[in-house]
Each structure stands twice: as C-alpha cells, then as structure tokens.
Structure 1
Amino acid sequence: MKAVIIDDEKNARNTVTSMLTMVANDIEVVAQANGVETGLKTIEQHVPDLVFLDIHMKDGTGFDLLRRLPNYHFALVFLTAHDNYALEAFRFAAIDYLLKPVDPDELEKTIERVRQQKPDNQKVMEVLLENMQKTSSSPRKIALKTSDAIHLIYSDEIIHCESADNYTRFFLNNQKPLLVSQSMKSTEEMLTPLGFLRVHQSHLINLSQISKIDRKNGYHVEMTDGTEVPVAVRKKDMLMKRLEEL
C-alpha cells in the first residue's frame, strides 16, 4: 500500500513515517508534502492508496485540498491537534483521524480500520463539508456505515438506538432500522450533544421523539414509532431534567 503524508510540520511527517515502519511494514511512504499546493502535486504524481492529511497548514487547510480533488480514490486519515469542532465533524462523517502527537497504538488501530473499509469518498466528504458549515444547534447529517453501504441521514430522523453487541441498531423515521458498525459508546458520544440521552445500558433515545412517559409497571418511555424503551432507575432524574431543558 502506497502512502503520502501531507503536513507542514516536518517532525510530524517523520514521526508518522517512522511509526508506520513499526506497526504496518506493508505500507510504504512514497512521498511527503508540506502544504496544499505541494500536496496536490504529490497526490497527482504518486496516486497513493492512503493519505495522511493535516488540517491546518501555512497555505490552506486539508479541506481546501480535498475540495480541489472531488473524485479522489484513496483512503484518508486526518492529522490534527485538539480542534473540537473538526473532531465533531469527523465523527459525524465516520472519518478516521489521529490526534497529535500521534500515538503508535492509535495509529495501528486506525490502519486496521482503513484496511477493512471501502469508503464512498463522495458521500463521506459531502457529510464532512456540510457539517463544517453547521451551527452547533442545527441537525447534523451523519454517515452511518452498514455492512454493504454508507447511509446519509439527519440526526433528527433518528428516533432511538439500541445496542447490539459491538454494533448499534438505529431506528429511523419512515425507514427500516440500520445495523451500524459502531459501538453504543461511540454513538452516545456523537449524539448526546444533539438532544439524545442514554436512558439504559442498551438504549439511547432522541428526546424530541418521546410521545409518552409511563410510570406504571416500571418506568419507561414510549417513542413516536410506538416502541417502549425502559429507563434505568439511575437515569430517571436526568431524563426529567433534560426534558425540562427542551
């Protein structure tokens, strides 16, 4: 697998190159670039299978580079410092990223995910670039990866989610449920800021999709699709507090 590293910090480029020799010796770094313009030329020249791309560079951003490559066919891993807004956008788009300074274990895990994925780059970039322009309170477009496709939905279309081992089943408005290769923990982290609450170990609900709270025969909520979702005892107070804030 041929890789290219695009980052305006030489030490960062060399660090990733060195780590790759330790955790993925079948990946060959064929070139490095230090910015948007040199990165575009490097990609055109080497046609890599994998690109590590910094977000903030002296002559522009990684997003600027991608906008000029509308039909790229390589796997993509972003390199970034703690940019919370960008990290949130990455999670919604199901894009791989590494925080600087890069940790070897995280790099190895990321490479394993890259090997297993066949990303639809056009869909992924559509989600990423749209969410980068959203305000924090707006519904977000989310890329959900199932075994055979990437589904693009808005967060307010999700009624509730249910844990299924290492997967999460998403129940949506007027659509069949989707079994997504994402843990409930990751789903909770992504959706909680958007008006969702994990009311039970196995259940995450959209608070705006509750139709009734039933206090008889055990505490549970009825969702707009008719599903009854149990509420853990320790989550009752949090549920009522969050509903008051709506």
Structure 2
Amino acid sequence: MNKLTSFVVDDIPEALELLCNDIEEYHPEIEIIGKASSVVEASKLLQTKKPDILFLDIMLGDGTGFDILEIISNLTAKVIFVTASEEYAIKAFKFAAVDYILKPYSIEDLSTAIHRVKEQIHPKTEQLSVLKQLVNKPTEQPSRLSLHTSEKIIVVPIKDIIRCKADNNYTTFYMQDQSKILVSKTLKYYADILKEVNFLRVHQSHLVNKSFIKEFIKSDGGYLVLKDTTNIPVSARKKSEIISALKK
C-alpha cells in the first residue's frame, strides 16, 4: 500500500519538530514531504507539493492558517488543525466539524485525528468558512453547523433546524424544509454545542429548537407541540427546566 504524504505548518520551531518526530515515530505509514513555519513559506511550497494530509497551525507569525487555505485554492489535502487556542476554538471546531489537535496533545490525540481524517471527505469551502468565522469572532453566536453524513458534509443554517432525535449512536436532524439528515454522532454531542444557541434537551432522545415550540401541554406526562404539529415528549426531570426556559 502506498504511503500517505503529509505537510506540517507551525511557527514555533520546537512544536514543528515535535509533531514531525511524533508522526515519523508513531505513524510510519505517513511520509512527511514538507514543513513550513509561516504563511509565506507554506504557500510557496504547497504550490508544488501535494500532500494527502496538512497539519496546520492556526495562529502563525505572518498571518493565519486560513490565509494559506485561501492562497492555495486548489488544495486537495485533508486538514488537521493543530492549535493551542482555548475553549472558544474548540467550540468553533465542533460547529465546523473539522478535525483538530489541541496543544499540548497526547499520542492518542494525534492517532485519533489521523484515523478520522483517513476516512474524511475533504472539507468544503462552506465548512471552513464556519470555522474561520467562529475563530475570528469568538463572541458571536454561530449561525451555521456542519453535519457529516455517510456520503457528504452538509452546512446548514442553525435557525432551520427544528429538532434532533437520538437513534442509538446516530442523530437525525429534522429541517424546516421537511428534509432529514442522519449523522454519526450522538445526541449528547449536539446538545452540548447547541445549548448556547436556543436549543433545549427535553428528553433523553430529543433536542428541540426553542423557536419552533408552539406550546407545552402539561397533561399526559407532559409534551411539547411544535409549529409543524409534531408532539415531543418531555421527561419528568426536565419539566421544571422547560417551563423556566419557556417563561424567559
């Protein structure tokens, strides 16, 4: 089997060497064909080198990793972002559904990211724009979410998501245009990142966009009626939380 090729970008020499050494030692199936410490250097080298995987630091001395992606418009590499950014950046990576390694990383973190990226569809322009927006403006509420299906990546407006339903380790998104999107992540994963943007976990199996709630019926154990006439059960332990949220 042919080796995968990679290119590594980091503006801190020690961090650049450490990552290269870890890739060579723990992932001999990946050949490093280039490395760079700046936007200018990386952009120049990537005009001719065509790696399968690009390990890309976000904050560089002469710009950002996004600048490289914009300069190399025909880049075909799968991108793994490597960053020391804080919690706001982690939220950005999750909304954009791109792979990342957070410094200081463990060998397990590196291996997990590489394993995921081997099976990944190349990030779309819209997907990377979600990440760029959230990293550059961390205090803004995100307006879009990237969803991985078995066949493609779909970037959807968050305001168009009516609800999400758990299906074992999968989640089904019900959209305003009546489409359904099945993704291979748990409902808890989406509940954690969407709670900041108007969503309520009303039941073990249901996450609801508050904008689509029409009424809360207290009888029959308690359930929500949504604007599309769907009835969603509310768990007993969630009732007081839901009532409080709806009053606000």
TM (normalized to structure 1)? 0.92
| Structure 1 counterpart of 2:236 | 233
Provide the aligned length of Structure 1 versus Structure 2.
245
Gaps of 5+ in 1: none
Q: How does 1:83-162 map to 2 (within 5 A)?
A: 83-132=86-135, 136=139, 138=141, 140-162=143-165
Are residues 1:81 and 2:89 paired?
no
Counterpart CA distance in 2 for 1:9 and 1:2 is: 22
- Normalising by structure 2, report the TM-score: 0.91
Which residue is equivalent to 1:12?
A: 15
Deviations 1:193-224 (A, max 9, x none): 10111111111111111111011111111122
**Residue 175 of structure 1 corresponds to which residue in structure 2?**
178
Q: Distance in 2 between matches of 1:142 and 1:193?
A: 13
Contact 2:121 2:152 in 1 (8 A): no
RMSD of aligned Cα (Å): 1.9
Give 1:50-69 correspondences, 5 Å limit.
50-69=53-72
Matching residue's letter, 1:160: R
Counterpart of 1:214 (choices 217, 226, 230) is 217
Q: Give the secondary structure class of the aligned counterpart of 2:182.
A: strand
> Are positions 1:71 and 2:74 aligned together?
yes
Identity %, equivalent residues: 34
Check 1:223–1:137 CA distance in 2 against 1; reply closer, same or farther (3 A cut). farther
AA aligned to 2:157 is: Y
Contact 1:92 1:140 in 2 (8 A): no
| 1:165 aligned onto 2:186 | no
For residue 60 of structure 1, what is the amino acid of its counterpart?
Answer: G
Residue 34 (1) aligns with residue 40 (2) = no
Change over 3 Å in CA distance of 1:164–1:85 after alignment to 2: same
Structure 1 residue ranges, 4+ long, deviating more than 4 angstroms after superposition: 130-139
C-alpha deviation, 1:123, in angstroms? 3.1
1:193 aligned partner: 196
- Quick one: distance in 2 between partners of 1:100 and 1:122? 25
Instruction: Report the Cα offset of residue 240 of structure 1.
Output: 1.9
Shift of 1:137: 5.6
120-129 or 88-97, larger mean C-alpha shift: 120-129
